[in-house]
Chains A and B, each alone.
Chain A
Amino acid sequence: MWMRRELRHLAMARRNSLTTVIADVWDKAKHLREAAEEEERHVCKAWKISSQVVRPETTTTATMAPPLPTSILLLLAVAFTVAAATATSPTAPEDGIRVVSAEKRIDLTGPIVKVYLTLKVHNPATGSDASHVLIAFTPLEAQHLAIVKATRAEGKRKKKVYVPLPVEPVDLAANAPDGARLYSVSLSAPLRPSETTTMEVFYVLTHSLEPFPAEITQSESQLVYYRDSALLLSPYHVLEQVTYVKMPSNRVESFTRVDPTARSGPEVKYGTYKDQLPYAYSPILVHHENNHPFAVVEELVRKVEISHWGNVQVTEQYKLKHGGARHKGVFSRLEYQSRQSISGASSFKNLLARLPPRVHSVYYRDEIGNISSSNLRTDSHKSELEFEPRYPLFGGWHCTFTIGYGMPLQDFLFESEDGRRFANLTFGCPLLNTVVDDLTIKIVLPEGSKSPQAVVPFLTEQHLETSYSYLDVVGRTTVVLKKKNVVGEHNVPFQVYYEFNPVFMLAEPLMLISAALLFFVACIAYLHMDLSIGKSQAS
């Protein structure tokens, strides 16, 4: 546009017959035009090759959005130019594994992103036995990755069983391009040459839905961005692949097109793409409505106190936050209550906690005192505590509260064969559909417990401390487990083993008995002493 202005200048200048000015401006304009053309050509090239975008504004947001690392864009451009240039490249990865077909299902229906991958992996006849298969994540994904699980289908048709496979992150030293993080899935039986197997990989990403607009009023609905790749990021050649993105509602503002792309209602299908090179990447951006409660527990401290007198007492301190689009403007309680369907659609006012069966003395309170808005339903398999915070939570709002309950000891404490005792407890957070940023579990063992050892199926930070409670002398050994980024899939049993001599159980009654005895001895001593000031009658 301002090129045109320059030209107008040029015309004016010519009219004024200032030849020096003409030459100068003409040069400038020419230079500018060339630069603009060059830039345009460049952009077109990059985007035509990689992806065609539905709307121009999506393109601009995609390229302008700061969280999307430019390195990924670069990677994409490089990957695609390479892919275009050498479709049948001979540079296969070392172990020669190929992904025959891949299906990636991205579930965006909740506040937490769940991805299901089905990989049909083939080991070529020329290769050697493969004991593990690698899966790759972008650095951003790896940062938000809460859990990765893998299973392998074994047996034929009706006798098909899914065997869980161990997944471990590969050393950063492994040279994956552009900082891609590799996770290694160890196969239960090695994959022999010219054998094919099907693997199911499931992973959960937290904090991956970015609210856009970032601030909404009470009557607005929450829209979020989700960024991923249409192509499977894999260290292997992928022969055939499809990506499905499932959204919670039909309201999809925009989505990136990477042809062939098809949308049917709340689902967008990317693919089928054929013959992709390792580490192929094609960014997609999906902008959709998601009014699910984005309940984020910023900090959760669970204290589990084991008493050999028949109780396991759990106290949970929550710092809860609504992690969705921030609330803007005023909050009208009247509007919120009278038009619940449209007002505060993304807010939430109640939460559900799934507790073990046979819980007793459940309480729910905060710093002020008891909060009366809670319901407890119990059956033989579970207890459900439905409770309401003191106020409905809108985006960016916080609330803190405490939940406590007791559980019968015989459900959780066992004696192992080697004579040690172990508590079998559940990891994670009992609240459904929440992310816990920072989880601390403190297991307070009875006084006199020795050599505690926690057995948790995943990596946690562990240390010991001493805590004091009723009738303690030396303090109780406390095992502290810490983990960041915890989701519902982490609610699995874990064990804490410790040695305990039952004689130590008598410590508490003996203390009480000696206290009473001390009182009696004091009485006897007082009555046996003659404390009168006057002269003793006897003498």
Chain B
Amino acid sequence: MQAAVSSPVPVAWYPALAVLTVAVGLMLTASFFIYEATSSTRSRSLAKEITTAAVASVFLGFGSLFVLLASGVYV
């Protein structure tokens, strides 16, 4: 039989998810910039920088998507 197709994440969760992911994303961004500011050029590890940046951008990416969805801009 035909089955109703619904969104992968319940619509009601969007605002909470937006706050959560954006908060985590911003904290990771903060830690990335703190690390950049506190470490010297020599002691910096590129791998650590890239990892933090990647994880932060995943959270910020999904965070901004959920912000859009929660505010009614259904992409």
Name A residues whose Cβ lies closer than 8 Å to a Cβ of B: 305, 307-311, 313, 361, 406, 408-411, 413-417, 421-422, 469-471, 505, 508-517, 519-521, 523-524, 527-528
Q: Are A409 and B5 in contact (CB under 8 A)?
A: yes
A411: which B residues are within 8 A, CB to CB? 4
Query: Looking across the interface, which residue of chain B has its beta carbon closest to that of A360?
Result: B72
Q: Are B11 and A408 in contact (CB under 8 A)?
A: yes
Taken together as a complex, chains A and B put the C-alpha atoms of A308 and B49 apart, in Å, by 34
Q: Are A309 and B36 in contact (CB under 8 A)?
A: no
Listed A/B pairs (29) with beta-carbon separation below 8 Å:
A310-B6, A310-B7, A310-B69, A408-B11, A410-B5, A411-B4, A415-B3, A415-B4, A417-B1, A470-B68, A508-B75, A509-B65, A512-B60, A512-B62, A513-B57, A513-B62, A516-B25, A516-B57, A516-B61, A516-B64, A520-B29, A520-B32, A520-B56, A520-B57, A521-B53, A523-B36, A523-B53, A524-B49, A528-B46
Q: Are A524 and B50 in contact (CB under 8 A)?
A: yes
Taken together as a complex, chains A and B put the C-alpha atoms of A411 and B4 apart, in Å, by 7
Q: Are A307 and B74 in contact (CB under 8 A)?
A: yes
Taken together as a complex, chains A and B put the C-alpha atoms of A516 and B62 apart, in Å, by 10
Query: Looking across the interface, which residue of chain B has its beta carbon closest to that of A414?
Result: B2
Contact with A along B17-37 (1 / 0, CB 8 A): 000000001000100110010
B3: which A residues are within 8 A, CB to CB? 414-415
Q: Does B54 contact A (CB under 8 A)?
A: yes
Taken together as a complex, chains A and B put the C-alpha atoms of A469 and B49 apart, in Å, by 34
B46: which A residues are within 8 A, CB to CB? 524, 528
Q: Are B61 and A310 in contact (CB under 8 A)?
A: no
With most chain A CB atoms within 10 A of its CB, the pick from B50, B57, B62 is B57
Query: Looking across the interface, which residue of chain B has its beta carbon closest to that of A526?
Result: B36
A524: which B residues are within 8 A, CB to CB? 36, 46, 49-50, 53
Taken together as a complex, chains A and B put the C-alpha atoms of A133 and B50 apart, in Å, by 77
A521: which B residues are within 8 A, CB to CB? 53
Name B residues whose Cβ lies closer than 8 Å to a Cβ of A: 1-11, 25, 29, 32-33, 36, 41, 44, 46, 49-50, 53-54, 56-58, 60-62, 64-65, 68-69, 72-75
A-B CB proximity, top 4 nearest:
A310-B7, A513-B61, A520-B53, A516-B57
B60: which A residues are within 8 A, CB to CB? 512-513, 516
Query: How far does the Cβ of A515 sit from chain B's closest Cβ, in whole Å?
Result: 7
Query: Known contacts being A508-B65, A520-B53, is A527 close to B75, with CB within 8 Å?
Result: no
Q: Are A417 and B72 in contact (CB under 8 A)?
A: no
Q: Are A414 and B75 in contact (CB under 8 A)?
A: no
A310: which B residues are within 8 A, CB to CB? 6-7, 9-11, 69, 74
A313: which B residues are within 8 A, CB to CB? 74
Query: Known contacts being A509-B65, A527-B36, is A517 close to B57, with CB within 8 Å?
Result: yes
Query: How far does the Cβ of B59 sit from chain A's closest Cβ, in whole Å?
Result: 9
With most chain A CB atoms within 10 A of its CB, the pick from B3, B4, B49, B68 is B4
B64: which A residues are within 8 A, CB to CB? 512, 516
8 additional A-B pairs beyond A410-B5, A470-B73, A516-B61, beta carbons within 8 Å, are A311-B7, A361-B72, A410-B7, A471-B75, A509-B65, A516-B60, A517-B54, A517-B61
Query: Looking across the interface, which residue of chain A has its beta carbon closest to that of B72?
Result: A361
Query: Known contacts being A410-B4, A410-B5, A413-B4, is A311 close to B11, with CB within 8 Å?
Result: yes
Contact of A414 among B4, B53, B72 (CB under 8 A): B4
Taken together as a complex, chains A and B put the C-alpha atoms of A115 and B1 apart, in Å, by 39
A311: which B residues are within 8 A, CB to CB? 7, 11, 74
Q: Are B5 and A308 in contact (CB under 8 A)?
A: yes
With most chain A CB atoms within 10 A of its CB, the pick from B5, B11, B50, B68 is B5
Query: Looking across the interface, which residue of chain B has its beta carbon closest to that of A308?
Result: B7
Taken together as a complex, chains A and B put the C-alpha atoms of A313 and B11 apart, in Å, by 14
Query: How far does the Cβ of B37 sit from chain A's closest Cβ, in whole Å?
Result: 9
A417: which B residues are within 8 A, CB to CB? 1-2
Taken together as a complex, chains A and B put the C-alpha atoms of A309 and B74 apart, in Å, by 7
A421: which B residues are within 8 A, CB to CB? 5
Taken together as a complex, chains A and B put the C-alpha atoms of A515 and B10 apart, in Å, by 25
B49: which A residues are within 8 A, CB to CB? 524
Query: Looking across the interface, which residue of chain B has its beta carbon closest to that of A311?
Result: B74
Query: How far does the Cβ of B69 sit from chain A's closest Cβ, in whole Å?
Result: 5
Taken together as a complex, chains A and B put the C-alpha atoms of A227 and B11 apart, in Å, by 55
B61: which A residues are within 8 A, CB to CB? 509-517
B54: which A residues are within 8 A, CB to CB? 517, 520
Query: Looking across the interface, which residue of chain A has its beta carbon closest to that of B50?
Result: A524
Query: Looking across the interface, which residue of chain A has its beta carbon closest to that of B67?
Result: A512
Contact of B2 among A305, A415, A528 (CB under 8 A): A415
Query: Known contacts being A305-B74, A311-B74, A508-B65, is A414 close to B5, with CB within 8 Å?
Result: yes
B62: which A residues are within 8 A, CB to CB? 509, 512-513
Query: Looking across the interface, which residue of chain B has its beta carbon closest to that of A512?
Result: B61
Query: How far does the Cβ of A404 sit from chain B's closest Cβ, in whole Å?
Result: 11
Taken together as a complex, chains A and B put the C-alpha atoms of A470 and B44 apart, in Å, by 38
Query: Looking across the interface, which residue of chain B has its beta carbon closest to that of A507?
Result: B75
B56: which A residues are within 8 A, CB to CB? 516, 520
A416: which B residues are within 8 A, CB to CB? 2
